[in-house]
Amino acid sequence: MEILKKTNIDFMGKRNYAFAASAVLCLFGIICVVMMATGKANMGIDFAGGASADMIFAKPLNMADARGALDKAGFGDAEIQALSGEGSKFKLLVRVKKTNVPTEQVVGKLKEAFDKSFPDNPAVIDSSSAIGPTVGKALQKDALWAIIISFIGIIVYIAIRFEFRFGIAATIATFHDVLAVLGVFMLLHKEITLLVVTAVLTLAGYSLTDTVVVFDRIRENLKLRQKDGLLDIINSSINEVLSRTIVTSMTAFLTVLALFFFGGEVLHDFAFAMIFGIIVGTYSSIFVASPVLYVWKGTKGGRLIKAAMLTKQPVKDLSAKPAPVSVKPVQPAPEAKPVAVAPAPDGGAGKGKKGKGGRKKSGARA
């Protein structure tokens, strides 16, 4: 069974639309980062400090009543969320972020508040977290370092395995993915916790594997089709690995889908970030990494991308095979000018003809 047989989509041609869409995604992401830096983003208590408690009640509680009990105790700002408990028990998650009460006392006071307001429905605190502000700040710093070092590692590795240009393109695509996920979290006002940062870093690594699949094919084609323009090479490379890219993302997607629906409340946001991240990651390998590779300024060729490819105009019809060099009768020897050693500015032509009969068709692989 095959989802996609031979395709010939002009991905690179659509790159301007893609850039526009990506720019919007990145914009949301940048807004989110700014909000995080200025303390206005919805940060989890592991970053912001504060306390949270999972309280289990024997009888269901009306949310408005719960809110009233908290208001009376001076915790009007607390966030409350009702979760399904085992059997008939009612589970309430209470989060307190800003308060004058010392963090370690908050959970105790929450229990007091509920016990006072609902004396016949005692609260049992199943799990709780209390995190002082200094720990939160240390965690923020660690998270930031983790992100920075990941990116450096990525650039270095890709630049070594491919070429510097590829490293930049891969990093920009990965950056784009991270911003897109953060942007979605900001739009949906979801809490950014340490697990969310973990998801973001993981999908950065995973989006990279997707990008590597495309780059790998591009690298191979660059070696084989040295006479073609870069745009054509990239376009056909993407088409060749399209089904591969989609299927690998599909398998990972299926697993995080299972996590999203059945993985429980703790991993829920993590799964959501991964789901969105895998989709964006696949999109970015095709529509961000590859076009950036093409668009990155420079006529200087590198180890893989030769200078000739950068200037060659794209072929109009992708499905047509590149026109074979026409065979001209060889001039009688004495009149043949010696071939200049220095390559002509447009590359290729100065190197002389490649043996009899023109070039091999580029479709065959050894």
Partner 1 sequence: MKKSLIWRSILISAVMVLAIVLFLPSLPEVRSSLPKWWPGNKINLGLDLQGGMHLVYQVQTEKALESFTARTAINLKNTAADKKINVVDVKPISATEIEATLANATDTNGFLTIASDTGVLERKSSEGTKVVLAVKNKEAERIKTNSVTQGVETIRNRIDQLGVAEPVILQQGTEEILVQLPGIKDPQRALNIIGKTALLEFKIVDEATQLTPPLPGNVQPGEEEKILAAYKDKVPADDEILFEKEVDRETGAVSRRPYLVKKEVRLTGEYLTEARVSIDQRGRPEVSFKFDTNGAKIFDQVTGSNIGKRLAIVLDGNIYSAPTIQSRIGADGVITGNYSEEEAKDLAIVLRAGALPAPLKPIQNLTVGPTLGNDSISAGQKAIVLGALLVIVFMAVYYKMSGIIADFAIGLNIVLLIGALAALSATLTLPGLAGILLTIGMGVDSNVLIFERIREELRLGKSVRAAIDGGYGKAFTTVFDSHVTTLITAAVLFQFGTGPIKGFAVSLSLGIMINLFTALVGTKVVFDFITSKWKLEKLSI
Q: To the nearest whole angstrom, how small is the minimum distance from the Cβ of residue 70 to partner 1? A: 20
What is the identity of the amino acid at 192? Answer: I
Q: To the nearest whole angstrom, how small is the minimum distance from the Cβ of residue 342 to partner 1? A: 34
Using CB under 8 A, pick the residue from 70, 172, 173, 208 that binds partner 1: 208
Q: What is the C-alpha to C-alpha distance for residues 353 and 336, in angstroms, rounded to an integer?
A: 13
**CB atoms inside a 10 Å sphere around CB 250:** 12
337 binds partner 1 (CB under 8 A): no
> How many residues interact with partner 1 (rule CB under 8 A)?
75
Using CB under 8 A, pick the residue from 38, 64, 86, 328 that binds partner 1: 86
131 binds partner 1 (CB under 8 A): yes
Torsion of CA 28, 29, 34, 35, to 10 degrees: 70
Q: How many Cα atoms occupy the beta-carbon half-sphere of 184 within 13 Å?
A: 17
206 binds partner 1 (CB under 8 A): yes
What the block records as the tokens of 35 is: 């909000």
212 binds partner 1 (CB under 8 A): yes
Q: Pick out residues in 96-125 that bind partner 1 (CB under 8 A).
A: 103-104, 107, 125
Using CB under 8 A, pick the residue from 26, 92, 154, 238 that binds partner 1: 154
- When the beta carbons of 82 and 149 are compared against partner 1, the nearer one is 149
- When the beta carbons of 80 and 194 are compared against partner 1, the nearer one is 194
- When the beta carbons of 23 and 82 are compared against partner 1, the nearer one is 82
Q: To the nearest whole angstrom, how small is the minimum distance from the Cβ of residue 275 to partner 1? A: 11
280 binds partner 1 (CB under 8 A): no
346 binds partner 1 (CB under 8 A): no
Q: What is the C-alpha to C-alpha distance for residues 35 and 22, in angstroms, rounded to an integer?
A: 20
Q: What is the C-alpha to C-alpha distance for residues 21 and 18, in angstroms, rounded to an integer?
A: 5
Q: Pick out residues in 37-66 that bind partner 1 (CB under 8 A).
A: 46, 54, 56
Q: To the nearest whole angstrom, how small is the minimum distance from the Cβ of residue 256 to partner 1? A: 7
Write down how long the chain is. Answer: 366
Q: To the nearest whole angstrom, how small is the minimum distance from the Cβ of residue 353 to partner 1? A: 27
Q: What is the C-alpha to C-alpha distance for residues 366 and 49, in angstroms, rounded to an integer?
A: 60
Q: Is 14 helix (H, G, I), strand (E, B) or coil?
A: helix
- Residue linked to tokens 């949270």: 52
> Judged by CB under 8 A, which stretch of 65-73, 191-199, 319-327, 338-346 contacts partner 1?
191-199
Q: Pick out residues in 213-242 that bind partner 1 (CB under 8 A).
A: 213, 216, 240-241
- When the beta carbons of 234 and 308 are compared against partner 1, the nearer one is 234
Q: What is the C-alpha to C-alpha distance for residues 238 and 14, in angstroms, rounded to an integer?
A: 13
1 binds partner 1 (CB under 8 A): yes
What is the identity of the amino acid at 88? Answer: S
Using CB under 8 A, pick the residue from 13, 60, 153, 298 that binds partner 1: 153
Tell me how far CA of residue 112 lies from CA of 32, 93, 95, in angstroms: 36, 15, 15
Q: State how beta strands 79-84 and 50-57 pair.
A: unpaired
350 binds partner 1 (CB under 8 A): no
Using CB under 8 A, pick the residue from 250, 295, 327, 340 that binds partner 1: 250
Q: Is 195 helix (H, G, I), strand (E, B) or coil?
A: helix
State the helix-helix crossing angle for 15-37 and 164-187, rounded to 10 degrees.
60
